[in-house]
Chain A
């Protein structure tokens, strides 16, 4: 019993503090760097290890990779100012409400196969994706509380926008993944991953089986058998649900082109206008952690989570060096996929302009919900003909 608790705690703390929080800060760095490069600039490339502070003749520049630490120090050391006109309780509560849900959503994500025989998922619960949706929709409370308690017009508008936007897109988000549960027959995320290992990633129309690198070998018969026309037909609605899911995820995480709650050009800073110092940093963290959680869910549902094609998924003895190495490769693979998706998020942000509010609502209610709903029926019609 105690061992189980210790192991779960180790997994949770390791995931949050060793992987997610550094990843958040480096996503912010990547955001700045990639946006700069897209706009033909260079971006933050200065901050290195400041050896001159300790009397050395030269700094180590390090491509500006120390920038996130400098940012964090700056945010920590800034004056934590609480305006006089705010509702103190909710004003203090809001940043935590914005931050915690995105971290909690990560609990059910299978971010690796195993390490020393221990499955790399903090909570292997059967509700799986439902937990993610339930918790990540709690994130809106942080934003609404912030907007409401700030007692000032721009945060208020941001809060209102955020609540209506997140409620609208929650629907299409949940509806668009129903086809996946119909295909996989489970809500449990590790089981969905297992399905994808057996039947191919859901994003891919054909899945070549019978090629293996360790041990090397090609089985032509199996390759021939793995190409199935019905599966390709089934792939079409799954791809549609992928697109709807990704776009809804953009809206859910308040990313451009759906970043109306904090539209800088219209609402100053949106819901966090009145916040400073670490409270502002918590919103920032929450936003990027939500982005990572969203990307992790997309990776788990559509990109086979930690699965690397042509590599064995398990070894007989996970306690050997090779077993641990394989586990580490799987964890790395998962976060590489997440990083690529985050790059896509950033790439989209610096490409598209912001939607007008009525366009946003129209897109959500008139198109995405309908598309997702029809998609469910299409899958239901195709599914009986597809061999398991």
Chain B
């Protein structure tokens, strides 16, 4: 069925078009003045202002390895994180703890632990899966480098970023 669309009846002010223009100019100049006088909130000016202090405790930054309060490395090279890592960013070369060592029962330690930060998607699954609470996503988010090699965090770098984490870890417990 054919029907006609009714055109809106315009009054004189609307036909002349100038009042609408002036209203529009008023709106834009109000926005302009508000931002000049600092009433409008704008984006954080990144390199000058950072939100480091306001980061929530659950923030997922770069994954790191942590040591305990005695300076012992927590990782037992179980490779669970390596297997669960969706983009396969983690590579662990496990080594054996020698027979005579006091902590022989721990069996393995990571000879080398590499996280390719170009691959990492900051999902936090490694942290979730770790049985020894050795890997944590810390609050570093500005991971940069000039070469691909630089972007691969090795064990040393991971411990440097991770630092010390206190708390209960089972493997150092003699009774277990």
Contact = CB atoms under 8 A, between A and B. Distances in A.
Contact of A42 (B24, B27, B34, B42): B42
B21 A351 contact: yes
A350 B28 contact: yes
B169 to A, nearest CB: 43
Contact of A352 (B24, B32, B34, B43): B24
A39 B34 CA distance: 11
A351 B40 contact: no
Given A37-B32, A37-B35, A38-B32, A351 B42 contact: no
A58 B24 CA distance: 42
A41 B45 CA distance: 11
Contacts of B24: 351-352
Contact of A347 (B28, B34, B35): B28
Contacts of A38: 28-29, 31-32
B25 interface: yes
A239 B113 CA distance: 78
Given A42-B42, A351-B24, A352-B24, A37 B29 contact: no
Nearest to A45: B45
A198 interface: no
B25 A351 contact: yes
A351 B32 contact: no
Contacts of A39: 31
A38 B30 CA distance: 8
Interface residues of B, number: 15
B36 interface: yes
A372 to B, nearest CB: 16
Given A41-B42, A42-B42, A351 B28 contact: yes
A350 B42 CA distance: 19
A348 interface: yes
A42 B44 CA distance: 11
Contacts of A40: 31, 34-35, 40, 42
A4 B27 CA distance: 51
B25 A347 contact: yes
A351 B21 CA distance: 8
A103 interface: no
Contacts of A24: none
A351 B27 CA distance: 8
Contact of B29 (A41, A42, A347): A347
B44 to A, nearest CB: 11
Interface string A344-355: 000110111000
Contacts of B29: 38, 347
A34 interface: yes
Nearest to A353: B24
B48 to A, nearest CB: 9
A348 B21 CA distance: 9
Interface string B35-62: 1100010110100000000000000000
16 contacts: A34-B32, A38-B29, A38-B31, A38-B32, A39-B31, A40-B40, A40-B42, A41-B42, A41-B43, A42-B45, A347-B25, A347-B29, A351-B24, A351-B25, A351-B27, A352-B21
Interface of B: 21, 24-25, 27-29, 31-32, 34-36, 40, 42-43, 45
Given A38-B31, A347-B25, 15 more contacts: A34-B32, A37-B31, A37-B35, A38-B28, A39-B31, A40-B34, A40-B42, A41-B42, A41-B43, A42-B43, A347-B29, A347-B32, A351-B25, A351-B28, A352-B24
Interface of A: 34, 37-42, 347-348, 350-352
